[in-house]
Amino acid sequence: MKDAKIAIQVKNLEKVYKLYDKPSDRLKETLGFGRRKRHTEHHALKGVNIDIRQGETVGIIGTNGSGKSTILKIITGVLNPTRGEVIVNGRISALLELGAGFNMEYNGIENIYLNGTMMGFSEKEIDEKLDAILDFADIGEYVHQPVKTYSSGMFVRLAFAVAINIEPEILIVDEALSVGDVFFQAKCYHKFEEFKEMGKTILFVSHDLSSISKYCDRVVLLNQGVKLGEGNPKEMIDTYKQVLVGQYTLEESGEGNLLDDKQLQEAAARQADGAVDKDRDANVNPDLLEYGSKKALIQEYYITDENGTRTSAILKGSRFHIHMKVEMVEDIAAPIFAFTIKTIRGTEITGTNTMFEKSFLESVKAGETKEIIFTQEMNLQGGEYLLSLGVTGYEGDDFTVYHRLYDVLNLTVISDKNTVGFYDMNSSVQVIDG
C-alpha cells in the first residue's frame, strides 16, 4: 500500500471562520466602516496534513467540533480553505448532506439525472446506471412523483442510491450509513463492503467506533482542529477514548497533550473539589425544559466515570455515576430522586429512582441538602443520549413534581463493539464443530 499512488493529499490545511455578534457588524466590516475589527476568529482546522493512498479506507474520528466535517467539505469543494491546499486524484462521490442538490419540484427520475450531471456524468452514463439506482432506492412508483411529496425515509433512500451507485474512484462518507430502516442500512453497509473489495479509496467519518474498527485500514484522530495522530484503528480508538475520558487539553503551542496517570488523578481531585458551572458546561442543554413546584431544587448535577473524573463520555462496559445535589425549600414527607436516559429522538431507554431501588424513603426538612449518586454499569450501545433528572413525591394520594430537568445533560457512550438494539446483553459465543 505504501507504493500506491496518492488519492487525496491534504497539506497544511487551515480553516478560520469569522464570527460576528450581529449581522450589522459583518456589513460594517465588509464596507470598511472604521478600522476596528468586528469579528472573532474560530479556527476549525489548524495546519492539518493527511495523505490517503489509492485503495485505502481511512477513518477520521474526533469529538464534536474537532473539524471532521469541515475537512470533508473542503476536500469535496463545498468549502474553501483559509490556508493550505488539497490535491485530489480521482472522481469523488460524497455522502455528506444527502439530497442537498435535489430540486424539490422535480420528480425522482429528474433528480437522478440532475445530480448525475452535476457529478460530471453524461446522459448516456446515467442511463446505464439508472436501473441500479432505482433498484437500490426501492421506492417504487414514487420515483415518478415530485420529491417534495416524499417521506423523509424515501428522500434519503433515493439520495443515497444516487450517490453510491455512480461508481466513483473515491467515496467520502460522513455519518451517512445510518439512514433509513434497518434493512436499508444493511444494504448500505453491503455496498460499502463492495466498494472496499473493489479497491476503491474510501474516506469515512463516523462516531460508530465499531464500524471504524471493522472497515478502516488507518485512522486519523482530530481534536479542536488539530491532528493528534494517525495509525491503526485500535491504537487510534484507544487514544480517542483517552481524549474523551482523560480531560484532554491543547497547549498554547497547538500540540496535543495527553495527561499521564498522575495528572489525571490531580485533575479529577480538582474537579471533585469544585462545583460544575452549569452556565459554562458545554454538555448542559441551554434549552432544557424545567418545571415543578420548586419545593425542592436540583442545584447541581454531573456525571463521573469509574475513576471519579467528571465527563460526559463513558466507555461501554465501565461503571459510571450520575450525581445530583438537591436543596429542600420546604418540608417534604418522602422525596423521590430519579434519572432517565433517552435517545436524541426522545425514546426513553432506561432509568430508575430511589423508590424503585428502595434506597431512600425518609422525610426531609426545609434547608437540608441531599447528594444523590446513582452508580451503574454502562451497557448501552455507543452513541449520543440525553439525561433527565427529577425530584418528585406523593402528597397524600397525589403525585407531585417538585423539580424536573428534561434533557439536561448530553451523555456520549464510546464503544468499539455495538450489537443490535439499545443495549448489549454481553453475550459469550461458542462455535463448536459438529
Q: Does some domain include residue 267?
A: no
Can you give the pLDDT at residue 51? 95
Can you give the pLDDT at residue 8? 95
- Cα(first)–Cα(last) distance of the chain, in Å? 40
Last residue of a domain, one of 200, 228, 245: 245
Q: Are residues 189 and 334 in the same domain?
A: no
Q: Kindly report, residue by residue over 271-318, the tens digit of the pLDDT.
A: 334 333 433 355 677 777 899 999 999 999 999 988 888 888 888 899
Q: Are β-strands 296-304 and 313-315 bridged in parallel, bridged antiparallel, or unpaired?
A: unpaired
Q: Are residues 156 and 11 in the same domain?
A: yes
Q: Are residues 239 and 190 in the same domain?
A: yes
> Which of these ranges, 23-37, 39-53, 335-349, 352-366, has the smallest mean pLDDT?
23-37
Q: Which of 306, 278, 315, 314 is nearest to 389 (CA)?
A: 278
Q: Which domain holds residue 372?
A: 273-414
Q: Does some domain include residue 253?
A: no
What's the pTM value of the predicted model, to 2 decimals? 0.67
Residue 90 CA to residue 344 CA, distance in Å, equals 37
Can you give the pLDDT at residue 416? 77
Q: What is the largest CA-CA distance in the chain?
A: 83
pLDDT at 126 over 80: yes
Q: Name, of 68-72, 343-347, 415-419, the range with top average pLDDT.
A: 68-72
Q: Are residues 211 and 285 in the same domain?
A: no
Q: Which of 330, 327, 331, 349 is nearest to 340 (CA)?
A: 349
Q: How many domains does the chain have?
A: 2
Q: Are residues 98 and 235 in the same domain?
A: yes
User: How many residues would you count in the chain?
Assistant: 434
Q: Does some domain include residue 155?
A: yes
The stretch 385-409 carries a mean pLDDT of 93
Q: Are residues 27 and 134 in the same domain?
A: yes
Can you give the pLDDT at residue 259? 42
Q: Are residues 289 and 406 in the same domain?
A: yes
Which position has the higher pLDDT, 178 or 391? 391
Q: Does some domain include residue 179?
A: yes
Kindly report the CATH number assigned to the domain that includes residue 16: 3.40.50.300
Q: Does some domain include residue 262?
A: no
Residue 301 CA to residue 289 CA, distance in Å, equals 15
Residue-averaged pLDDT of the chain: 83
Kindly report the CATH number assigned to the domain that includes residue 280: 2.70.50.60
pLDDT at 430 over 70: yes
pLDDT at 100 over 50: yes
> Which of these ranges, 113-122, 207-216, 263-272, 372-381, has the smallest mean pLDDT?
263-272
Q: Are residues 279 and 239 in the same domain?
A: no
Q: Are residues 157 and 53 in the same domain?
A: yes
Can you give the pLDDT at residue 20? 79
Residue 4 CA to residue 433 CA, distance in Å, equals 41
pLDDT at 146 over 90: yes
Q: Does some domain include residue 251?
A: no
In this prediction, residue 412 has a pLDDT band, given cuts at 50, 70 and 90, of confident
pLDDT at 163 over 90: no
Last residue of a domain, one of 209, 229, 245: 245
Q: Are residues 222 and 366 in the same domain?
A: no
Q: Does some domain include residue 254?
A: no
Can you give the pLDDT at residue 274? 39
pLDDT at 203 over 90: yes
61 exposure class (CB count in 10 Å sphere: 0-12, 13-18, 19+)? buried
In this prediction, residue 31 has a pLDDT band, given cuts at 50, 70 and 90, of confident
Q: Are residues 92 and 235 in the same domain?
A: yes
In this prediction, residue 3 has a pLDDT band, given cuts at 50, 70 and 90, of low
Distances (CA, A) of 142 to 116, 147, 159, 185: 19, 8, 14, 20
Q: Does some domain include residue 120?
A: yes
Q: Are residues 306 and 190 in the same domain?
A: no
